């Protein structure tokens, strides 16, 4: 793993406890705040925000494992490396920020960060996937039962 990917993985692992804190906060809202329970749209968006944050951070860590093995140019590799964490910021921000108060009746314009995050995520996935498909494998495995490393 390159030093850039390793550093980003470290940052993501340091940030991950904020998702845990968000889950505890969400549970507190469910149990102790009757106004939260009366707004079904806010509940749905906040649950979506929490779920997307956790899943996308895990996906970001997983993608980092493959970025350095992909046959990509420097800019495409940097894009693939950062697209997953950026989407892990944009999507939850859209869900949490668009319904900030219990009295919110409809999402505010921050909800438009969700489609932007989804487009960036899809583009990052396609970029990484194409780079991995383009990577070549050695013709002969070095040892039976062991996978040969991908080369670029």
Lookup: tokens for 76: 């495409």
Burial (0-12, 13-18, 19+ Cβ within 10 Å), 82: middle
- What is the average pLDDT across 36-50? 84
Q: Of 2-11, 48-57, 81-90, 135-144, where does mean pLDDT reach its minimum?
A: 135-144
Domain that holds residue 15: 3-134
Count how many domains the chain has: 1
Burial (0-12, 13-18, 19+ Cβ within 10 Å), 77: buried
Which residue is listed with tokens 């106004």? Answer: 35
- What is the average pLDDT across 23-52? 83
C-alpha gyration radius of the chain? 19
Give domain status of residue 141, yes or no: no
Kindly report, residue by residue over 65-123, the tens digit of the pLDDT.
Answer: 999 999 999 999 999 999 999 999 999 999 988 888 888 889 999 999 999 999 999 99
Higher pLDDT, 22 or 6: 6
């Amino acid at each position: 793993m390159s030093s850039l990917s390793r550093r980003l993985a470290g940052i993501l692992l340091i940030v991950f406890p904020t998702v845990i804190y968000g889950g505890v906060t969400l549970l507190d809202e469910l149990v102790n705040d009757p106004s939260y329970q009366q707004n079904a749209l806010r509940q749905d968006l906040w649950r979506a925000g929490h779920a997307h944050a956790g899943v996308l951070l895990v996906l970001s860590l997983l993608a980092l494992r493959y970025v350095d093995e992909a046959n990509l140019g420097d800019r495409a590799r940097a894009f693939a490396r950062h697209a997953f964490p950026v989407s892990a910021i944009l999507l939850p921000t859209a869900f949490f920020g668009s319904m900030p108060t219990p009295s919110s009746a409809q999402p505010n314009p921050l909800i438009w960060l969700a489609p932007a995050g989804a487009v960036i995520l899809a583009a990052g996935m396609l970029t990484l996937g194409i780079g991995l498909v383009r990577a070549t494998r050695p013709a002969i495995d070095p040892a039976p039962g062991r996978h040969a490393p991908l080369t670029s």
